[in-house]
C-alpha cells in the first residue's frame, strides 16, 4: 500500500490506535487517560499536517483544493485519511 510510505498517514493510524487503546484501558488503568491524550495530540498534529498537504498540493485545481479543505477541516482525522487514500498524483483520479 502506497500510503504506508507517507509519514502523515502512519501518524494518523498510530494516533487513532492510541485513542482507541486509551478508551479501552481508561476504566481500568489511570495510564489509559495519558495514552488517550497522546493519541489526541498525534491526531491533532496529523490534522494540521493534512491541511498543509492539501494547501500545498500543486496537482489539484482550485475547486479540488476547496473540496478537500472542506472535507479535512470538517471531519478532522477521517477527512485527512480520506485525502491520503483517495488522492492520487499525476494523471490519475484526483477527486
Q: Where are the domains of the chain?
A: 2-86
- Per-residue pLDDT, 58: 87
Q: Give the whole-angstrom CA distance, residue 11 versus residue 32.
A: 19
> Computed from CA positions of residues 6, 20, 25, 42, in that sequence, does the dihedral angle turn out positive or negative?
positive
Confidence band, pLDDT 50/70/90 cuts, at residue 88? low
The pLDDT of 2-27, averaged and rounded, is 83
CA dihedral 36, 40, 43, 48 (to 10 degrees): -170
Q: Could you tell me the pTM of the whole model? A: 0.80
Amino acid at each position: 500500500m502506497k500510503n504506508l510510505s507517507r509519514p502523515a498517514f502512519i501518524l494518523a493510524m498510530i494516533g487513532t490506535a492510541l485513542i482507541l487503546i486509551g478508551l479501552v484501558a481508561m476504566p481500568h488503568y489511570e495510564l489509559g487517560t495519558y495514552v488517550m491524550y497522546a493519541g489526541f495530540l498525534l491526531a491533532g498534529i496529523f490534522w494540521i499536517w493534512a491541511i498543509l498537504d492539501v494547501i500545498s498540493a500543486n496537482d489539484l485545481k482550485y475547486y479540488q483544493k476547496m473540496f478537500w479543505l472542506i472535507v479535512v477541516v470538517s471531519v478532522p482525522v477521517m477527512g485527512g485519511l480520506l485525502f491520503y487514500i483517495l488522492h492520487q498524483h499525476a494523471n490519475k483520479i484526483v477527486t
